[in-house]
DNA sequence: CCGATAAAAAACTAAATAGTTCAATATCTC
DNA sequence: GAGATATTGAACTATTTAGTTTTTTATCGG
């Protein structure tokens, strides 16, 4: 049987994720990943094919954990869920700001195709969930049209987390936005 | 007097800008900049202090040229200008997609502080111009509040250019958005 | 407790990078 | 046209990178 390994895959993902989340793919070195995870290159390379593989695994892990929060599936569906999604979707836990998935979009050029697939699939899912919530409010316009517009606004909120702007201004924007779309 | 140099600063900026615009700072090598500008490292380093300096110069150059388009100062001010800004602000000239300034936001961590200053100053300007246009439409809500929300939506549209989504879907989103804010 | 086995640590490799230096070269002034 | 001068090109340096190989070390079954 031999020596048992001193870490779990989950553990590594949980610790590597914030690093990629904050610094992106290119600006994250193996050295930093070793430091953050406490696992040495050998360990990392037995568990993951390469840096790209680890990155994509982190991305999936992120999206899963975000999904589990169920911000858009709370009953009753409606505007309230949309507002909560906009307000609490982009996280703010110390270093990791905004949305890892949205952040990754700027690196598609150097990321494996898989990353593109994961991100777009998740966006499609979000859009469906948004549309479901919107539909329940019986708006005049097509729910899917409103949903895709909401997702763009969400994307904007996410990248703006790279600015040192206040939480208050973000909340204000969301409230103005919600007022606008409730009339659609 | 000696030998005259075979390039102008403007020329270099014009050619280096699309490269940074597309690939960002980290993923652009000196080699690629030499190729794109046709100017060798020696030349680049006599004109610019280092890669960072060149990047910031490109960013300024970009914002100046965008400013000159005057999308938000066309008379009469109003919603129409806002709509044009959203539709034609993020460029689509082949390789360079979206907004160079918004793209840069994801790299603040590794960019000189100057870049942060340039970007935020420009955003403040955009917000003032947006507010002026909105004010002329006499909305119920505070023009500045609407303006900052519009800017977030704009930011979202810009990063979404990293996705291979159609021009049509972008237009549709903007139209939905305009319908929403015209009622504010 | 011993030897097989698997993990972890560390040394190593090859390639790419930003930035520098130095020699070659072209053009202007006189 | 000669010589000063600034530009250009190319060789060079030092560092960092992802990834591999080798050595050491811990743990399990017998």
**Dihedral angle at the C-alpha atoms of B147, A184, A89, B160, nearest 10 degrees?**
-70
Which pLDDT band holds residue B95 (cuts at 50, 70, 90)? confident
Non-local CB neighbours of A20 within 8 Å, separated by 6+ positions = A28, A55, A58, A59, A100
Q: pLDDT of A83-95, one tens digit each?
A: 999 999 998 887 7
**Positions of chain D reached by protein Cβ under 7 A:** 4-11, 16-22, 25-29
Q: Tell me, yes or no, if A26 comes closer than 8 A to chain B by beta carbon.
A: yes
Q: Are strands A96-98 and B96-98 parallel, antiparallel or unpaired?
A: unpaired
Percent of the residues in chain A that have a pLDDT greater than 90, as a whole number: 90
Average pLDDT, chain B: 95
Q: Are A83 and A178 within 8 A, CB to CB? A: yes
Residues in chain A: 184
pLDDT reported for residue B167: 86
Phi-psi region of A8 (alpha: psi -120 to 50; beta: other; left: phi over 0): beta
Beta-bridge partner residues of A98: A91
| Tokens 């037995």, located at residue | A46
**Distance (Å, whole) CA A99 – CA B171:** 24
pLDDT reported for residue B134: 98
pLDDT reported for residue A1: 76
Contact check, Cβ <8 Å, B176/A184:
yes
pLDDT reported for residue A79: 98
Q: Is A121 exposed, middle or buried (0-12, 13-18, 19+ CB in 10 A)?
A: exposed
Q: Note the CA–C1' distance, A2 to D30, in angstroms.
A: 13
pLDDT reported for residue B107: 95
Q: Tell me, yes or no, if B125 comes closer than 8 A to chain A by beta carbon.
A: no
Sequence-distant contacts of A67-76: CB under 8 A, at least 24 apart: A67/A125, A72/A126, A72/A129, A72/A130, A72/A132, A72/A133, A73/A129, A76/A136
> CA distances (Å), A14 to each of A61, B110, B116, B131, in order?
8, 24, 30, 42
Region A93-110 average pLDDT: 92
A109 CB neighbours strand C below 7 A: no
pLDDT reported for residue B132: 98
Which pLDDT band holds residue B165 (cuts at 50, 70, 90)? confident
pLDDT reported for residue B96: 82
Helices and strands counted in chain A (H then E): 9, 2
B28 CB neighbours strand C below 7 A: yes
For residue B110, give the nearest of A27, A145, A177 by CB distance.
A27
Q: Tell me, yes or no, if A15 comes closer than 8 A to chain B by beta carbon.
A: no
Q: pLDDT of B39-74, one tens digit each?
A: 999 999 999 999 999 999 999 999 999 999 999 999
In chain B the domains, ranked by start, together with CATH numbers, are 7-69 (1.10.10.60), 70-91+112-184 (no CATH)
Residue nearest to nucleotide D30 (CA to C1'): A1
pLDDT reported for residue A2: 73
Chain A CB contacts of B124 below 8 Å? none
Chain A CB contacts of B146 below 8 Å? 176
DSSP state of A27: T
Which pLDDT band holds residue A4 (cuts at 50, 70, 90)? confident
Which pLDDT band holds residue A167 (cuts at 50, 70, 90)? confident
Residue nearest to nucleotide C30 (CA to C1'): B1
């Amino acid at each position: 049987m031999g020596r048992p390994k001193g870490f779990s895959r989950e553990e590594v993902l949980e610790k590597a994720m914030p690093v990629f989340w904050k610094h992106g793919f290119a600006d994250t070195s193996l050295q930093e990943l070793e430091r953050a995870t406490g696992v040495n290159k050998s360990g990392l390379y037995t568990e993951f094919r390469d840096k790209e593989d680890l990155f994509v695994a982190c991305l999936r892990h992120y999206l899963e954990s975000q999904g589990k929060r169920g911000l858009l599936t709370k009953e009753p569906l409606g505007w309230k869920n949309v507002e909560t999604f906009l307000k609490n979707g982009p996280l703010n836990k110390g270093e990791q700001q905004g949305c890892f998935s949205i952040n990754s979009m700027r690196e598609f050029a150097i990321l494996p195709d898989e990353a593109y697939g994961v991100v777009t699939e998740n966006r499609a899912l979000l859009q469906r969930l948004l549309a479901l919530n919107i539909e329940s409010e019986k708006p005049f316009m097509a729910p899917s049209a409103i949903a895709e517009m909401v997702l763009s606004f969400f994307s904007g909120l996410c990248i703006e987390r790279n600015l040192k702007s206040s939480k208050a201004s973000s909340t204000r924007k969301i409230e103005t936005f919600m007022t606008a779309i409730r009339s659609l």
